[in-house]
Copies of this chain bind each other. A is one copy, B any other.
Amino acid sequence: MKVGFIGLGQMGSGMAASLLRAGHEVTVYNRSAEKRRPLLEIGAREAATVADACTAEVVITMLSGDEALRQVALAADGIIAELRQGGTHVSMSTVSVELTRYLARAHAQARQRFIAAPVFGRPEMAAAAKLFVVAAGAPETLSACQPLFDAMGQRTFPLGTEPARASLIKLAGNFMIAATIETLGEALAFVGKGGIDPGSFVELLTATLFPAPVYRTYGALLAERKFQPAGFAVPLGHKDVRLLLEAAQSLHVPMPVANLLNDRFQRLIAQGGEKLDWSAIGELAAEDAGLRPPASR
């Protein structure tokens, strides 16, 4: 298929490369042009503007958040203005439920199709086409996009016709991961202060009750205290927790663990930890327990 791909960060670059490898015709756009280059070398065409990327049947966006997506989609020369009638916008970044709802309406008015299809997975999974895709929108549009999802992910979960639900699920999933990091952090502070090696505790957990990639990945990062370079940086983690809490606010759902996570991120940012991997929130319990001197980050 002919695809426009907008947003070539750590995740987007891997996803666009997967599409190319699967034989799709991909035109890539990124605000800073140097990120386009590696993809041009493996066969992508270059879009000089968002509008250029919109000449394809399907435009995929994989941007850093609401603000970026709003600009790319809603500007005078943005996707809604430039995409043909009947064309499809697949929004794959993690954005607010509210913006997803807004885009669904705006595309409908412009007689375009819209799919929300956020993904679970870190950059290395994007590069290996092993993402999980959570997709919602009109059934025929979902079917039409399935070859694209197959090229980027290991499995697609169709979630019905309402795009906002895909956003809700994505935010809930990221919450589960962040909560796992916090919980691991507290447990490691506890056993660590009791004299137990963190690595062996993580090994025990993942060999028994929690044989899941999330526990292996973040357990290892926490045991080794390896928070740089960031696979997923603190401000991105914080953004996702804030989007969750905003959605929870409008649904009137108290979420005490989510509040705690938000405070952890706020503290890291206030103390200069923006460049760390988001798993660094799991280190704060150890600091509070006096296991390590509190860091000026």
Contacts and interface: CB of A to CB of B under 8 A. Distances in A.
A176 to B, nearest CB: 6
Contact of A190 (B134, B168, B267): B168
Interface string A122-135: 00000000001010
Nearest to A183: B179
Q: Copy number in this complex?
A: 4
Contacts of A295: 294
A120 to B, nearest CB: 6
A244 B190 contact: yes
A180 B215 CA distance: 12
A254 B266 contact: yes
Interface string A27-62: 000000000000000000000000000000000000
Contacts of A257: 182-183, 186, 257, 260
A179 B176 contact: no
A149 B258 CA distance: 40
Contacts of A270: 252-254, 288-290
Which one of A120, A186, A254 has the highest number of Cβ atoms from chain B below 10 Å of its Cβ? A254
A209 B252 contact: no
Interface string A251-271: 111111111101110110111
Interface of A: 97, 120, 132, 134, 155, 157, 159, 162, 164-165, 168-169, 171-173, 175-177, 179-180, 182-184, 186-187, 189-191, 193-196, 200-201, 204-205, 207-215, 242, 244, 247-249, 251-260, 262-264, 266-267, 269-272, 285, 287-290, 293-296
16 contacts: A173-B205, A175-B190, A179-B179, A180-B180, A180-B183, A183-B183, A194-B251, A211-B212, A212-B212, A248-B266, A249-B262, A252-B266, A254-B267, A257-B260, A259-B259, A263-B288
